[in-house]
A and B are shown apart, each in its own frame.
Chain A
Amino acid sequence: MDKIGQISTYTVSLFGHSFDVNPINFIMTWIVMGLLAIIAILSTKRLNIIPKPIQNVAELIYEFIEDIVISTLGQKDGKRFVPFIFTVFVFTLMGNWIGILPNFAVMLGTLIAVVHNIFGAESVQIAWAGLTNIQLTPDPSAWYNFLFHVPDFEEPTRSINTDLAMALMVFFVVHAFGIKKNGILGYLKGYWGDVIPCEGKWLLLAPINIMIPLNIISEISAVVSHSFRLFGNIFGGFMIITIVSSLTKFIAIPIGLLAFFGLFAGLVQAFVFTMLAVTYIGQKA
């Protein structure tokens, strides 16, 4: 249970201010992007009329997203937004799913340590204190010791920073699209022209229209709810898995919980995030 709430941060000082940076989150984001790039290259390497399995899966996901976007935004605008929405979807999905990978480095280290111990090395101690409590302590001088310090795979979406960054990106795309589509006046009219029917005099009524601050607050709170929805679900799932694992002393790996919170909730939340992005864009059209 002592793992909960433990975040590794470095404090960087820049221009006289100090910033807290979470390097694990940063590295995991790049790992997710790298994996996506590799999958994209592999699936489009030899395009064929009769697709290979990996191309088939990529086409399936792409067509699924394309269908939703075009049916919501229309043929012309929809076509322009498909790549953006597809990127948001696959990044969120891969970001949610990467946390279920086990820590390969620690597994490899344990394996080497056990083999090393069998061949009579002094540099590792394995203490069997009951069935559920196996302590493996490698000597700090052993050459494979660094493997035990490699951090776990961590969902980048478990950190609010990643989620907030993505929600802000969607926010700017939505409002830029709104301004481009309706012109600056038409865009502003959306904030105070719709409540009282005042036939073009809406600009004069601006100072006394009580709906303006509320409309602005609801636009901003959309960003908050959009990002915290993803964050809360992924973070909550991680906490539940950690708590249940620690209650069962890590001996019974909660596979059902991993399947539900890792795979299923990850897929649903990635879909929800993407669909809400499409809906926000569609509202400005």
Chain B
Amino acid sequence: MENIAGPDFIKALAFLAAGIAMGFGAIGPGIGEGFVGGKACEAIGKRPDEANLITKTMIIGQAISETTGIYALVVALILIFVV
């Protein structure tokens, strides 16, 4: 182990930060998308004839819920490759 210098220390902490950013950032969208999917299943259980429309709406809703997850991914990649 060498003594740690300024730029190296920033790089090291940026990697740790990238991991924590992606980790916490994935929790919210995961639960949120789960709610969307669950309610879509419930709706199909009530009205199976509308299954196509409900599935389409579910996918769009989940894609939008996932936006914050994509923000976390972008931030993590910036922390890894740019900082």
Residues of A within 8 A of B (CB): 71-72, 214, 217-218, 221, 279, 282-283
Which among B51, B52, B56, B67 is the interface contact of A214 at CB below 8 angstroms?
B67
A-B contact pairs, 15 of them (CB 8 A): A71-B51, A71-B52, A72-B55, A214-B67, A217-B70, A218-B63, A218-B66, A221-B70, A221-B73, A279-B55, A279-B59, A282-B56, A283-B56, A283-B59, A283-B60
Chain A residues whose CB sits within 8 angstroms of the CB of B74 once the complex forms: 217
A72 to B51, CA, bound (A): 10
Question: How far is the CB of A187 from the nearest CB of chain B, in Å?
Answer: 17
For the residues of B in contact with A, the DSSP-based class is: helix
Q: With contacts defined as CB atoms under 8 Å apart, how many contacts are there between chain A and chain B in the complex?
A: 20
B interface residue numbers (CB < 8 A to A): 51-52, 55-56, 59-60, 63, 66-67, 70, 73-74
**In whole angstroms, what is the CA distance A71 to B56 when docked?**
12
Q: How far is the CB of A171 from chain B (nearest CB, A)?
A: 16
Name which residue of chain B comes closest to A72, CB basis: B52
Closest residue of chain A to B59, judged by CB? Answer: A279
A72 to B52, CA, bound (A): 6
A124 to B73, CA, bound (A): 56
How far is the CB of B30 from the nearest CB of chain A, in Å?
13
Q: A283 contacts which chain B residues (CB < 8 A)?
A: 56, 59-60
Tell me the smallest distance from the CB of B44 to a CB of chain A, in Å: 13
Q: How far is the CA of A214 from the CA of B72 in the complex (A)?
A: 12
Contacts of B67 in A (CB 8 A): 214, 218
Shortest CB-to-CB span from A6 to chain B, Å, is 27
Which chain A residues lie closer than 8 Å to B66 at the CB level?
218
How many Å lie between the Cα of A71 and that of B52 in the bound state? 7
Please name the residue on chain B nearest to A213 by beta carbon.
Answer: B74
**What residues of B have a CB within 8 angstroms of the CB of A217 in the complex?**
70, 74
- Given contacts A71-B52, A72-B52, A214 and B70 within 8 Å (CB-CB): yes
